[in-house]
Amino acid sequence: MLNCWKRKDKCPYGCKNICNEDTLPLSDAQAGKRIKVCGIAGGRSLCGRMAAMGIYPGVEIELLCGGCGCPCLVRVHGGTLSLGAGMSEKILVTSAV
């Protein structure tokens, strides 16, 4: 996995993958629901920053507050994070069902 960081075309967490037609940005998701991250539409630095906070493809998060163009509050791995509007638009999610 360490060799993946040396490649310039891909993030080792698969952040360039798009799941399906049901995928939408975190900023458009419904508050109070559990959702699953399926990709991050950003560069290597954003993918790395999100992974360091525990947000990476495949992880389930709970959207506590969001969808109003202001920072989103999410609960991930027992902690609560505030993500700016720009970041939340780049995190692609789908329903966790």
The residue segments making up the domain with residue 65 are: 12-95
Per the domain annotation, does 66 fall within a domain? yes
Q: What is the pLDDT of residue 48?
A: 92
Closest to 26 (Cα-Cα) out of 94, 79, 80 = 94
Residue 39 maps to which CATH number?
2.30.30.90
Per the domain annotation, does 1 fall within a domain? no
Number of domains in the chain: 1
Q: What is the pLDDT of residue 71?
A: 83
Q: Where are the beta strands (DSSP E) in 4-95?
A: 24-25, 34-40, 60-65, 72-76, 79-83, 91-95
pLDDT digits (tens, 9 = 90+) for 24-78: 899 888 888 899 999 998 889 999 999 999 999 999 999 998 766 678 899 999 9
Give me 61's structure tokens: 């998060």
Name the pLDDT band for 13 (thresholds 50, 70, 90): very low
Q: What is the pLDDT of residue 74?
A: 93
Q: What is the pLDDT of residue 51?
A: 93
Q: What is the pLDDT of residue 23?
A: 87
